[in-house]
Amino acid sequence: MVAAIVLVAVVLLGLAAVGLSHLGGSRPAADAGAGATRTTEPTTTLSPRTTTHRTTTPSTTTTRRTTTTSRPPTSTTPAGPQPVAKLGDNPLFDVGGLPATDCPLSRWTTDPAGAERFFRSALPCLNAAWAPVLKAAGLPFSPPDVAFPPGTSFTTPCGNQSIGHIVAFYCGRDHTLYVPFAGLQSDMYGAHPGVYLALFAHEYGHHVQSLSGILGAYTNQRYEKDNGDSNSDAGWELSRRLELQAQCFSGMFLAATSGRGDVDGNITHEAQTSQDRGDHNGPPLDHGTDQHAIGWWTAGFQDNSLARCNTWLSSTADVA
């Protein structure tokens, strides 16, 4: 059985975005020590018990080519590794875990410019941790973009977003992690960078799902399970599996960087104690319970194993 792990739930927001994230419900504890793929639907991350913020990532779209009769047909075989639209049997899970990764971080300051510097410094660490894993699995790798929209509302290729609905957002259409400062609940979390690093790693986890083909396979399964009803229980269960997996990936990244570079004991402690991001605010039940959100993150942190993060093969009870 999966221990209590806080994972990000998925909410369908049309056929465009995936990966909305919420921050947890309580402050971190005191510092310790010194196939054909449909458009991907959105996923979200819940915030802690007090507020609900979501992050979403859009699905990908396919582009068709036309050829003229005067030229030879253009080959439709893509070059290089391609995503594999599978869930539980995705080749990503055949690789062990993330390699130990040094992670120099910019010092967190609680203002938009300081937050942007912090997240931009974390992005190369995430790229360095995940690139060899995807390549070892025979899957493509490309780094995501990151954007820091000002204000409380912004426009993305995955649709218009507003703070209060989301905290952070991964859009699969432009492969971008959107991290608006207004959504970070910095008035609640203050100068606790571990909270924000875990959130960022969760959203990056949706990028990994997109690159591997998991996100596309999820979208296809969700379309079939919903059967025209976007509020079906079967569909919400798939959403919970997607979001809890991103939670587990976040824990793996903290494990791979813990004690290396600037990821010290305080940062990992803050990350561990801020994962209560479950469905405490009521339906839709798309993120899992607080216990499962915490448990899946903890599983990733303790085991650093992709196979351990395979929520698609877990029982319904473990992703409730």
The secondary structure of 29-47 as a DSSP string is PSPP-----PPPPP-----
pTM: 0.82
Contact call for residues 195 and 48 (beta carbons, < 8 A): no
Query: Quick one: pLDDT at residue 105?
Result: 98
Is the pLDDT at 33 greater than 60? The verdict is no
Pairing between β-strand 55-56 and β-strand 19-20 as defined by DSSP bridges: antiparallel
**Residue 219 backbone phi and psi in degrees, to 5:** -60, -45
Can you tell me the distance from the alpha carbon of 76 to that of 67, in angstroms, rounded to the nearest whole number? 11
Strands, E assignment, the chain = 19-20, 55-56, 145-147, 153-156, 159-162, 169-171, 176-178
Selected residue with higher pLDDT from 152 and 58:
152
Query: Quick one: pLDDT at residue 262?
Result: 98
**Tokens 């594999």 sit on residue:** 84
Average of per-residue pLDDT values in the chain? 81
pLDDT band at 288 (very low <50, low <70, confident <90, very high): confident
- Helices 233-257 and 112-136: crossing angle, nearest 10°? 100
Is the pLDDT at 294 greater than 80? The verdict is yes
Query: Quick one: pLDDT at residue 129?
Result: 98
Domain parsing of the chain, residue ranges: 19-61+81-319
Query: Quick one: pLDDT at residue 53?
Result: 36
Query: Quick one: pLDDT at residue 64?
Result: 29
Read off the pLDDT of each residue in 4-8 and give the average, rounded to a whole number: 31
pLDDT band at 52 (very low <50, low <70, confident <90, very high): very low
Write the CB contacts of 77 (distance below 8 Å, at least 6 apart in sequence): none
**Tokens 């929209």 sit on residue:** 149
